[in-house]
Structure 1
Amino acid sequence: MTTTTRRAALALTLMAPSIVRAQGTRWPDRPIRMIVPFGTGGGTDITMRLLAPKLAQILGVSVVVENRPGGGSTVGTDYVAKLPPDGATFVFATLSSTGLAVGLYRNLPYDPVRDLTAIAPTNFIPICHSITTRGLTARTTEEWIAALRANPGRYSYGSAGVGTSGHIASAAFLTQTGTEAVHVPYRAPGQVYTALIAGEIQFNSDIPSLMLPYHTDGQARTLFVATDERSSLMPDVPTAAEVGLPGYKSYSWYGVFGPANLPAPITTRMASAIDEALADPAISARLEAMGTPTMRGYTPERFAQYVKDEIALWVPIVRASGATAD
């Protein structure tokens, strides 16, 4: 290493703490806002409200959860992407906000890689496919696909918004089975379930923990889970491959992002706090009980690469499904 290089490295080392101090006496030195770009009652909202008190304890400041739904999570995500990188506001984004959004929107107002700083993932979200029991006689996936084929465009499915994982999972299911149905987007997950059990929509794709009560009491029937293994919450429900849909997979994940160019010391500190919160036995047990296992041990660099890989994987799937948001 040359003298000039050593001096440059020393300057960067000395600069890092000053970047954090520039936000105040230390970071964090004020309450933190965590934007959830979905409505209340869904998996993201439940998960972040579980994590927020622990993050507040670890960081020593309040962590305020704020819901900013709209545009399949793109409204709240874009809001944070446009903020200054001062460590005051973060977004609890998902696969919907990144890989799915890139495939859906021709004019997405932000670039998930360029305009956001990936910090850490929190949990992995399997997706299951369920139908209402009100007005439907189908009891198996085979019978349900037959009903769809016999009635193209007659049935409808709900999601928490255009471009959400639930939307794309159902659209991809229709593509794979060569069937048609009408998409009905809602602003919050709770509205989807109200419509499903009332028979106003006939099916949806969502996380097992939200579906479980309705599956258990018979108001809906979960036909399969779209991952390699059965869900621990629904051991009686087969996988997509087991019901004759090999290669069909659907899932999501949640993670924390900041605005672009977030100083490295803030990014590293927040990533460490998230991993520490996920290590809490009560939190990890709750997430496991929800059927959404934790994703621990990610550095910001590893998570950033994961996001890039997910975009590369999902954009072709979204476009092949024919789903659009413009």
Structure 2
Amino acid sequence: MRLTLRRRALLAAPAALLAAPALGQGTSPGAWPQRPIRIVVPFGGGGGSDVTTRIIAPRLQDVLGQPVVIENRAGAGGVVGTDYVAKQPPTGDVFVLATLSPIGLAPGLPTPMPFDPIRDLTPVAPTVFVPIGLAITQRGVTARTAQEFVALMKARPGFYQYGSSGVGSSGHIAAATFAIKTGTEAIHVPYRGGGQVFTALQSGEIHYCADIASLLKPFHDAGTARIIFMATDDRSSLVPDVPTAREAGMPDYKAYSWYGIFGPAGLARPIVDRMAQALETVLSDATIKRRFEEMGTPAMTGWNPDRFAAYVREENATWAPLVRSLNIRE
């Protein structure tokens, strides 16, 4: 499926879903929350999920009328923090901004998962859709295009290294898939968050990584790194000089992510609906919507919990077998 079509499906909800009731029947909007709310970000600071949560949290706090506290619990490509929330009591006090990584990608890796993404979490609502690009360091790497970089990698198998926010993260799978699709060999270096990955990329500690265009753009513009393609159908308005994967000679290359709010399994439906309604209000705010557009990660508005739950099941069923078939190692 072409990414443009998938993005349209993600960002446009049927009218029937938009008309779905925002609150559980017979539940007062003021019944929850009564205490501060924690949102766990399962990655370190400076990455896309961390930035996204910090954009949403202040407005969400206003809408819900309770403090919203962000807590970073990095490790294992988002698995550690997501597992932490999966094991909490479903009281409505703690949520996680999980990504495609622990929901659909990590389950396809050899390491056993400490939780079941479908059974042990309650999907609430998506937040943003995340197109991914691949960037190479300009410290000691002379390549300017994907073809030139592939030639360098083939000339020195196993020499080049790529970084990610952890095993099973979207950056890990996207970068590993690049090596597999191009018939090259590279070494994975996991970090605890996107900030560390970008520091390593600029210094030449790693040779390439995959991430959001807006986070890579400052290094691209400064000349410390170079985005060699975007895994999208059309060129990104953020980096119009960067070719698509198809233009770069990889028409079958596929990489994207999304971020969504989840609670522990068993979370009461009135809480789920109230939180989903609040997130819809926040994501529909013109200022916040524009901020995400500027980041190249469009807000996923017009969803309800049932539609998001169905999408989560679909993504898990699609990506886990795909990752397994690629035989990606840690």
Using the TM superposition, give the Cα deviation of residue 324 of structure 1 relative to its aligned residue in structure 2, in angstroms: 3.7
CA distance in 1: counterparts of 2:76 and 2:61, whole angstroms: 29
- Alignment length, in residue pairs? 307
Using the TM superposition, give the Cα deviation of residue 16 of structure 1 relative to its aligned residue in structure 2, in angstroms: 6.3
- Superposed counterparts of 1:58-207, under 5 Å: 58-207=63-212
Q: Percent same amino acid at aligned positions?
A: 57
Using the TM superposition, give the Cα deviation of residue 159 of structure 1 relative to its aligned residue in structure 2, in angstroms: 0.6
Cα deviation, 1:160-198, whole Å, max 9, x if unaligned, reads 111110000011111111110000001121111111111
Cα deviation, 1:125-168, whole Å, max 9, x if unaligned, reads 01101111111111111111111111100110111111110000
CA distance in 1: counterparts of 2:155 and 2:32, whole angstroms: 60
1:160 partner amino acid: S
2:297 corresponds in structure 1 to 292
Structure 1: state its 5+ residue gaps. Answer: 1-14
1:213 partner amino acid: P
Deviating 4+ runs (over 4 angstroms): 15-18
Q: Which has the larger radius of gyration?
A: 1
2:166 partner amino acid: G
CA distance in 2: counterparts of 1:105 and 1:269, whole angstroms: 37
CA distance in 1: counterparts of 2:322 and 2:237, whole angstroms: 27
**Aligned partners of 1:172 and 1:317 also within 8 Å:** no
Change (3 A) 1:84 1:16: farther
CA distance in 1: counterparts of 2:70 and 2:123, whole angstroms: 19
Q: TM-score of the superposition, structure 2-length normalised?
A: 0.90
CA distance in 2: counterparts of 1:248 and 1:56, whole angstroms: 39
Pick one of 317, 321, 324 that aligns with 1:312.
Answer: 317
1:238 corresponds in structure 2 to 243
**Aligned partners of 2:106 and 2:167 also within 8 Å:** no
1:279 corresponds in structure 2 to 284
Pick one of 60, 68, 75 that aligns with 1:55.
Answer: 60
**Aligned partners of 1:113 and 1:308 also within 8 Å:** yes
Structure 2: state its 5+ residue gaps. Answer: 1-23
Q: TM-score of the superposition, structure 1-length normalised?
A: 0.91
Using the TM superposition, give the Cα deviation of residue 17 of structure 1 relative to its aligned residue in structure 2, in angstroms: 4.9
Using the TM superposition, give the Cα deviation of residue 202 of structure 1 relative to its aligned residue in structure 2, in angstroms: 0.7
Give the SS at the match of 1:241: coil
**Aligned partners of 1:171 and 1:321 also within 8 Å:** no
Give the SS at the match of 2:247: helix
1:152 partner amino acid: P
